[in-house]
Amino acid sequence: MRQLYRIAAFFLICLFSGIVHAADYPTRPIKWIVGYPPGGTTDVLARLMAQSLSEKLGQQVIVENKPGAGNNIGTEFVINAAPDGYTMLLVNPANYINATLYKNLNFKFTRDIAAVAGLVSTPNVMVVSNSVPAKTVAEFLAYCKANPGKVNMASSGSGTSVHLSGELFKFMTGCNMVHVPYKGAGPALIDLTAGQVQVLFDNLPSSVPHIKNGRIRALAVTSATAEPSMPELPTVAATVTGYEATASFGIGMPRNTPPEVINKMNATVNQILAEPAMRARLADLGGVTIPGTPADFNKIIVAETEKWAKVINASGVTLD
């Protein structure tokens, strides 16, 4: 009987400790790992959210950049961290893509990361050189099919969401384009404006200034619905049925992080995303908020990973 009392007491202590942990969390600063250098859209998003999270949680959320290996260094760091809620990852399209693109990863993203909360979804934009006569996606398709193998498709690098948005377009339309990878969007845009390459499926924020000053021409956005910041642009899907390529961002923690910790972070994120001022600031980055439960964000992670796996396998692109 005494042994039963001890076992019951042990489980009560564990249960109480979990409740206290959830109520007190966080009690120290939280590291938020970003797998890119400072200054890019991904880093800006993290720092914007980190400021509000710090205010709401009463502890500093510190953004730490760990670039390298196509985002895999930062991701593996988080996956191997203690599952206590004090290390989290800015989940981004590279995570969905790399699951198939890299054949020798030391982790399986969909298994080893716990989905916490969605943040924003941003479209890419299909832009062409002014030397291309097409004014619409349909006209571009006709131009491409009339010039097979002569249309150069730029990207910000092999395996990026920019590259694979173009590969998805090729896969769904049969358009024969030559991939020309660059080291970032900047060099790709320079050659696009010069007419050295003909088309680019670029991240919206980096292309907008060039679109507005008329140096390149926007044909459509890659999201399933119209982009609020550029309502005059149609979607690629209006011409290519079923096409959709958006960049979904969110927060992940190591698997086995206590559910009560995940739920508290999720509730805090959703509270911030509901604020009109935050929605407006995220809209300036071309982002639409994606609030929801941890399960909702996990569905996005799984669906995006499966979608890009099909595109990567069809294109034959791989990295070691």
| pLDDT tens by residue, 104-118 | 999 999 999 999 999
Q: How many CB atoms lie within 10 A of CB 274?
A: 11
State pLDDT tens for residues 119-160: 999 899 999 999 999 999 999 999 999 999 999 999 988 888
Q: Which CATH number does the domain 123-238 belong to among 3.40.50.2300, 3.30.43.10, 3.40.980.10, 3.40.190.10? A: 3.40.190.10
For 252, the enclosing helix (H) or strand (E) is strand 246-254
* Start-end of CATH 3.40.190.10 domains in the chain: 123-238
Domain 2-121+247-315, CATH:
3.40.190.150
pLDDT at residue 230 is higher than 90: no
pLDDT of 21 above 60: no
DSSP assignment, residue 212? H
Q: How far apart are CA 307 and CA 320, in angstroms?
A: 20
Q: What is the phi/psi pair of residue 200, to 5°? A: -150, 135
Please write the tens of the pLDDT for every residue from 151-206. 999 998 888 889 999 999 999 999 999 999 988 788 899 999 999 999 999 988 78
The more confident residue out of 320 and 308 is: 308
pLDDT digits (tens, 9 = 90+) for 214-223: 999 999 999 9
Contact 146, 135 (CB under 8 A): no
| Average pLDDT estimate for 269-289 | 92
pLDDT for 302 beyond 90: yes
Start and end residues for every CATH 3.40.190.150 domain found in the chain: 2-121+247-315
